[in-house]
Structure 1
Amino acid sequence: MRLRNVLVAATSAIGLVLAVPVSANAADGVFRYTYRAAGSEHHGELVDPKAEQCVDVPGATDQDAAYSAVNRTNGTAVAFLDFGCLGDVYRVLNPGESTGRRLHFRSVLFS
């Protein structure tokens, strides 16, 4: 009888822990980048990007990708050359890492 009560309590506790919602923002902070529009450079940023959600970078186009990424979030960012976080061309940026002008990307996935 005691074993059954212990198992019920343990199962209930695990269920409660799994049911508590976690924050949707796994990457607190700012991800900065540069893009070209109308013949000049502009700066953009993603503030507190959501985890496990692909973000097509505002300002990036089919003709001109974004570049000069600076990951000032507490999460890992994976920058993809294609929109929709697709393709085999990508780069992982750890928290605090930045890239030069040579890394071009159109979408980012945070974890």
Structure 2
Amino acid sequence: MRLRSTVAAAFGALALIVAVPASADAASGDFSYTYSGLDGFPQIGFLLDPPSGVCITLPEVADPASSSPAHTPWNHTDATATVFAGVDCAGDYFTLRPNGGHASSRLKLRSVVFS
């Protein structure tokens, strides 16, 4: 009887694993932003298929003492992007809708998290 219960439980767990979609841990698409390069000219940064639920500090603007914040974000992922004024998802924030949400150059950001 125990063997039958164990086999049934294992089969049920396998069926549940197969039924759950695998894409739950990443946003599909790209997220872009503008920042000032070392030469002072605007550069475009990209995050391709970023992980969901993880705070991402934008590497080009990670040090507030030596860089201006990024601006003009475009969210071309399938997830909502919440951008933050500070590193490590701290400070003021703004939410960008999926599939084309964007903001002007007045919105300053240093980090982002995708839902």
Give yes or no for TM over 0.5.
yes
Larger % of helix: which?
Answer: 2
Query: TM-score interval w.r.t. the shorter chain?
Result: 0.7 to 0.9
| Paired letter, 1:76 | T
C-alpha distance in structure 1 between counterparts of 2:42 and 2:103, whole Å:
16
- TM-score between the two structures when normalised by the length of structure 1: 0.78
Q: 1:80 aligns with which of 78, 81, 84?
A: 84
Task: Name the CA distance, whole Å, in 1 between partners of 2:42 and 2:50.
Answer: 23
The residue aligned with 1:52 is: 53
How far does the alpha carbon of each residue in 1:45-101 deviate from its partner, in whole angstroms, 9 at most, with x for none?
0000001011111211414001000000000000001100122x0000011111100
User: Alignment RMSD, CA only?
Assistant: 2.5
Show structure 1 runs of 5+ residues with no match: none
Structure-to-structure mapping, 1:34-49, within 5 angstroms:
34-37=34-37, 38-49=39-50
Count of residue pairs the alignment pairs up: 103
Identity of paired residues, percent? 40
The alpha carbon displacement at 1:21 in A equals: 7.7
Partner of 1:102: 106
